[in-house]
A and B are shown apart, each in its own frame.
Chain A
Amino acid sequence: MQHKSTCSCSRRHFLRGSGLTLAGFGAASLFPTPLIQSAMAGNLENANKRMLFFFLRGGNDGINTLIPHGDPDYNTTNRPNLYIPNTSSIDLGNSFAHLHPAMADVMPMFDDGELAILHRVGYPNTSRSHFDGQRIWENGDPTQPQMFEGWLARYIAENALASGAPIPVITSQVTPPLILRGNEKFVNIANPDQFDYLDDDPNRSKYANAWRSVFTDLVGLEQYRPVLSQTGVKLVDTLDEYRSWDQENWRPMDPDNPTDELFPVDDQAIPHSKGFAAESYAFFRSLKICALSLLESDGSSNGTRIAGSQLGGFDLHDNQVQNGNPTGGRHAELLSWLAYGMRSLRIVLSGAAIDTRTYPNIWADTIMTTLSEFGRTSIQNGSLGSDHAASTVVFVGGGGVNGGVYNCDAGTWPAGIMFGDSGRYLPERTDYRAVMWEILRDHMGASPAGLESIFPGYTAGGLGAQELGIV
Chain B
Amino acid sequence: MGNSIRASLPVLSLLLVASLSYGAPPGEVTGIGFSGKDLLQWSATTGADDYNVYRGSTSQLASVGARCHGDEIAVLQFNTPAIPEPGASFYYLVTGESDVDGEGSAGSQSAGPARETLGRCDTVMRNHVLNRSGYGWDEWSEDRLATLGTAAYLAEQLDPASIDEGSNTELQSRLTDIGPPDRVEDLQAIAIVRAVYARRQLEQQTALFYSNHFTTQYQEVYNFFNVYNPDLVRRRLEATTLQARDEDTFRDLGFNGNFREILEEGVVGASMILYLDNDNNVVGRPNENLSREALELHSMGVDNGYTQLDVEELAEILTGWNVCKKETPDIDDPLAPCIPRNLIGTPGEPAGAWVRNFRVDQHDCSQKTLFLGTPYETVIPDTCDGLGDPTSAGEDDLYLALDAIADHPSTAEFMSTKLLKRFVSESPTQAMIDSVIAEWNDDTHPAGRGDLREVLRAVIEQSAFLDPDQAGSKIRTPFEHVVAVFRGMRGQTNGANTVAGYMNRLQHVLYRNASPDGYSELGGDWIGTTNLLERQNFGLDLTESIFINPDFSERIIPLLNDNGISTAPGNAEAIVEFFSDKLFGGALTVMEKQAAVDYLNTDELGQTTPYNDARIRETIGFMTGYPQFLEQ
Contacts and interface: CB of A to CB of B under 8 A. Distances in A.
A382 B505 contact: no
A425 to B, nearest CB: 10
B540 interface: yes
B529 A382 contact: no
Contacts of B64: 219-220
B529 A7 contact: no
A131 B304 CA distance: 14
A198 B292 contact: no
Given A211-B536, A225-B627, A382 B552 contact: no
Interface stretch (B106-114, B578-586, B590-598): B590-598
A381 B286 contact: yes
A174 interface: yes
A128 B605 CA distance: 57
Given A175-B531, A206-B599, A381-B287, A7 B591 contact: no
B277 A181 contact: no
Contact of B507 (A130, A175, A210): A175
A249 interface: no
A358 interface: no
A132 interface: yes
Given A176-B528, A381-B288, A383-B277, A3 B507 contact: no
Interface in B16-59: 55, 57
Contact of B527 (A8, A211, A227): A227
A194 to B, nearest CB: 6
Contacts of B302: 127, 129, 131-132, 145
Nearest to A202: B604
Interface string A260-285: 00000000000000000000000000
Given A128-B292, A318-B287, A195 B530 contact: yes
B540 A207 contact: yes
Interface in B417-472: 426, 469, 472
Interface stretch (A151-159, A183-191, A400-408, A431-439): A183-191
B530 A6 contact: no
Interface in B482-509: 497-498, 501-502, 505, 507
B256 interface: no
B475 interface: yes
A312 interface: yes
Interface stretch (A29-37, A87-95, A228-236, A343-351): A228-236
A18 B547 CA distance: 30
Of the four ranges (under 10, 10 to 19, 20 to 34, 35 or more), the interface on chain B belongs to 35 or more
B296 interface: yes
B540 A231 contact: no
A259 interface: no
Contact of B544 (A3, A185, A218, A225): A3
Contacts of A388: 288, 292
A132 B303 contact: yes
A232 B627 contact: yes
A176 B530 CA distance: 9
B311 interface: yes
Given A206-B604, A318-B277, A422-B308, A3 B546 contact: yes
A345 B529 CA distance: 25
A61 B25 CA distance: 73
Interface string B514-534: 110100001111111111110
A223 B475 CA distance: 10
Interface string A196-239: 11110011011100110111011111111101110110110010
Contacts of B286: 381-382
A194 B529 contact: no
B502 to A, nearest CB: 7
Contacts of A199: 540, 544
B626 A4 contact: no
A62 interface: no
Given A220-B67, A224-B523, A8 B498 contact: yes
A387 B288 contact: yes
A4 to B, nearest CB: 7
B545 A5 contact: yes
A407 B553 CA distance: 60
Contacts of B541: 4, 6, 8, 198
Contacts of A231: 527-529, 532
A250 interface: no
B63 interface: yes
Contact of B303 (A129, A185, A191, A213): A129
A224 B528 CA distance: 12
Interface in A340-383: 381-383
B622 A387 contact: no
Contact of A382 (B57, B287, B501, B592): B287
Nearest to A188: B528
Interface string B122-156: 00000000000000000000000000000000000
B235 to A, nearest CB: 18
Contacts of A129: 292, 296, 302-303
B549 interface: yes
A197 B308 contact: no
A304 to B, nearest CB: 14
B606 interface: yes
A458 interface: no
A395 interface: no
Given A231-B528, A383-B285, A210 B599 contact: yes
B366 interface: no
Contacts of A207: 536, 540, 599, 622, 625
A42 interface: no
B288 A382 contact: no
A53 to B, nearest CB: 17
Contact of A317 (B287, B311, B505, B517): B287
Contacts of B537: 197-198
Interface in B283-315: 284-289, 292, 296, 302-303, 308, 311
User: By CB atoms of chain B within 10 A, which of A6, A145, A181, A422 has the most?
Assistant: A6
Contacts of B60: 219-220
Contacts of A238: 529
B498 A7 contact: yes
User: By CB atoms of chain B within 10 A, which of A213, A222, A235 has the most?
Assistant: A222
A385 interface: yes
A381 B308 contact: no
A1 interface: yes
B288 A1 contact: no
Given A3-B544, A188-B530, A214-B592, A227 B552 contact: no
A318 B622 contact: no
Interface in A54-105: none
Contacts of B475: 224
B529 A222 contact: no
A260 B208 CA distance: 45
Contacts of B182: none
B304 to A, nearest CB: 11
B379 to A, nearest CB: 23
A318 to B, nearest CB: 5
B631 interface: yes
Contacts of B67: 220-221
A190 B530 contact: yes
Contact of B533 (A202, A224, A235): A235
Closest 4 CB pairs of A and B: A382-B285, A8-B501, A383-B280, A190-B530
29 contacts: A4-B541, A5-B546, A6-B549, A6-B553, A128-B311, A131-B517, A176-B528, A181-B524, A188-B528, A190-B530, A191-B530, A197-B533, A197-B540, A198-B540, A206-B606, A207-B536, A211-B622, A219-B63, A220-B67, A231-B529, A231-B532, A235-B532, A238-B529, A318-B287, A383-B280, A387-B287, A387-B289, A388-B288, A422-B308
Given A190-B505, A197-B537, 20 more contacts: A7-B498, A132-B303, A145-B303, A148-B522, A174-B507, A198-B540, A198-B541, A199-B540, A199-B544, A206-B602, A210-B599, A211-B625, A214-B627, A217-B592, A227-B527, A228-B627, A238-B529, A381-B280, A381-B286, A382-B280
